């Protein structure tokens, strides 16, 4: 299986009356870092507050009537959960979502409000995903994987289609990455339409599974994760996203917790945009590593569903201390079949 431009274009047709064509906003504050234009692709303003509705809807819409009647199951720290819940509701499909213990309360409540049943399990998205797979096997539900499926990747890739249409002269596209579904889809679209543009994936230093996986040429699971960016705290990338990242993404970069906090504050104070830490990872890269970026630069703000308590702590403790104050440590247990 793979994903090509035609798949993403077909996904865009499915999404015509479902999603918002999110705006791009010029950031002069970030532009000063790179000596040229930096544009923000505002997926934080998408339905459900993140890009996830794109892939979730495409995946569920392509199920058979019988599969939809049997229901779907998903695993998520919050954004994929909301995307699946809304998409399932729009398509009259029952949905169960497994979330890690301690998932942000606003994301949990929004998932329920969209109509899904929420169940808690484990400490990480990987734990929740294992539970969702077991549930699917036991109940005949269809697993809507958060990133490792061609329909999901094609849906997320529609962000890249829009971006190139909105900014045809873009030279660098910066995208946050967890399991790799968003950045792989965006990279396929961007490289097909503007092959000279550079695509950069950004991960939190404390949850960077891509570098080791790329070196090993297969998904490698992290032993532990430590980051405030719960939306990209994924301990192991998907096999198909990894294959596409190796083929189409030019660089993988990591950013510090302090940089994530500063990026979040810049989006709030200068751009007047509420962005969660995972959604601000690309902005953190611009602020921390501007020398690798050739303008015009486009940064995907992947989500805006931040826990108000987390936002209050970032504001209270300021730019330099916020990352250290807010980091948490999660141990990922060994699992049968995991690659080390």
Catalytic residue chosen out of the listed positions 27, 50, 302, 327: 302
Tally the domains of the chain: 2
In the 8-state DSSP scheme, what is residue 99?
E
Is 302 labeled as catalytic in the residue annotation?
Answer: yes
pLDDT confidence of residue 313: 84
For every residue of 149-216, DSSP letters joined together read SHHHHHHHHHHHHHHHHH-TT--EEEEE-SSSHHHHHHHHHHHHH-TTSEEEEEEEGGG--HHHHHHH
Residues 201 and 308 in one domain: yes
Q: Let me know if residue 337 belongs to a domain.
A: no
Q: Let me know if residue 166 belongs to a domain.
A: yes
* Residue ending a domain, choose from 125, 143, 161: 143
292-316: pLDDT as tens digits: 999 999 999 999 999 888 888 887 7
Residues 139 and 163 in one domain: no
pLDDT of residue 337 exceeding 60, the answer is: no
* Residues in a beta bridge with 50: 303
| Mean pLDDT rounded to a whole number for the chain | 92
Q: Let me know if residue 324 belongs to a domain.
A: yes
Residues 11 and 108 in one domain: no
Residues 290 and 196 in one domain: yes
Residues 60 and 78 in one domain: yes
Q: Let me know if residue 264 belongs to a domain.
A: yes
pLDDT confidence of residue 318: 58
- Is the separation of the CB atoms in 107 and 78 below 8 Å? yes
* Residue ending a domain, choose from 92, 111, 143: 143
pLDDT confidence of residue 340: 32
Cα 313 from Cα 121, distance rounded (Å): 26
Residues 246 and 286 in one domain: yes
Residue 123: CB atoms within 10 Å: 16
Between β-strands 24-26 and 38-42, what pairing exists: parallel, antiparallel or unpaired? antiparallel
Residues 103 and 207 in one domain: no
- Of the candidates 61, 219, 243, the one whose C-alpha atom is nearest the C-alpha of residue 142 is 61
Between β-strands 72-75 and 95-99, what pairing exists: parallel, antiparallel or unpaired? parallel
Its domain, for residue 164, covers 5-49+149-331
* Residue ending a domain, choose from 101, 116, 143: 143
- Is the separation of the CB atoms in 282 and 299 below 8 Å? yes
Catalytic residue chosen out of the listed positions 52, 107, 191, 198: 52
pLDDT tier at 126, thresholds 50, 70, 90:
confident
For every residue of 69-96, DSSP letters joined together read HH-EEEE-SSHHHHHHHHHHHHTT--EE
pLDDT of residue 156 exceeding 60, the answer is: yes
Instruction: Please confirm whether the linkage preceding 296 is cis (ω < 30° from 0).
Output: yes
Which residue in the block uniquely carries the two structure tokens 């544009």?
39
Interaxial angle between packed helices 79-90 and 52-61, expressed in degrees from 0 to 180 and rounded to the nearest 10: 40
Which own/partner pairs from 93-99 qualify as long-range (CB within 8 Å, at least 24 positions apart)? Answer: 93/60, 93/63, 93/68, 93/69, 95/71, 96/71, 96/72, 96/132, 96/135, 96/141, 97/73, 97/132, 98/73, 98/74, 98/128, 98/129, 98/131, 98/132, 98/135, 99/75, 99/128
Cα 145 from Cα 142, distance rounded (Å): 9
pLDDT confidence of residue 307: 86
Residues 297 and 169 in one domain: yes
Q: Let me know if residue 338 belongs to a domain.
A: no
Interior angle at CA 48, CA 227 and CA 56, nearest 5? 90
pLDDT tier at 151, thresholds 50, 70, 90:
very high
90-122: pLDDT as tens digits: 999 999 999 989 888 888 999 999 999 999 999
Residue 73: CB atoms within 10 Å: 28
């Amino acid at each position: 299986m793979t994903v090509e431009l035609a798949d993403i274009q077909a996904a865009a047709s499915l999404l015509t009356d479902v999603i918002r064509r999110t705006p791009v906003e010029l950031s002069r504050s970030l532009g000063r870092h790179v000596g040229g234009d930096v544009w923000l692709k505002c997926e934080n303003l998408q339905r459900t507050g993140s890009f996830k509705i794109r892939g979730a809807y495409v995946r569920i819409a392509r199920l058979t009537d019988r599969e939809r009647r049997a229901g779907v199951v998903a695993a998520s720290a919050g954004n994929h959960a909301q995307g699946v819940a809304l998409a399932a509701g729009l398509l009259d499909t029952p949905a169960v979502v497994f979330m890690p213990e301690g998932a942000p309360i606003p994301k949990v409540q929004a998932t329920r409000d969209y109509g899904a049943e929420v169940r808690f399990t484990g400490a990480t998205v990987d734990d929740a995903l294992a539970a969702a797979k077991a549930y699917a096997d036991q109940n005949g539900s269809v697993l809507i994987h958060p990133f490792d499926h061609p329909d999901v990747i094609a849906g997320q890739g529609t962000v890249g289609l829009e971006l190139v249409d909105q900014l045809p002269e873009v030279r660098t596209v910066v995208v946050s990455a967890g399991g790799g579904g968003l950045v792989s889809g965006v990279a396929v679209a961007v490289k097909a339409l503007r092959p000279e543009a550079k695509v950069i994936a950004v991960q939190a230093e404390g949850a960077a599974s891509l570098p080791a996986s790329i070196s090993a040429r297969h998904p490698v699971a992290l032993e532990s994760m430590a980051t405030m960016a719960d939306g990209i705290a994924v301990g192991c990338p998907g096999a198909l996203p990894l294959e596409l990242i190796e083929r189409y993404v030019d660089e993988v970069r990591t950013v510090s917790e302090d940089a994530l906090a500063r990026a979040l504050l810049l989006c709030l104070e200068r751009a007047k945009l509420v962005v969660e830490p995972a959604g601000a990872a690309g902005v953190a890269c611009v602020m921390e590593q501007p020398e690798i970026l050739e303008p015009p630069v486009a940064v995907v703000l992947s989500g805006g569903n931040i826990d108000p308590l987390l936002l209050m702590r970032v504001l209270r403790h300021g730019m330099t201390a916020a990352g250290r104050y807010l980091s948490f440590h999660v141990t990922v247990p060994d699992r049968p079949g995991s690659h080390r």
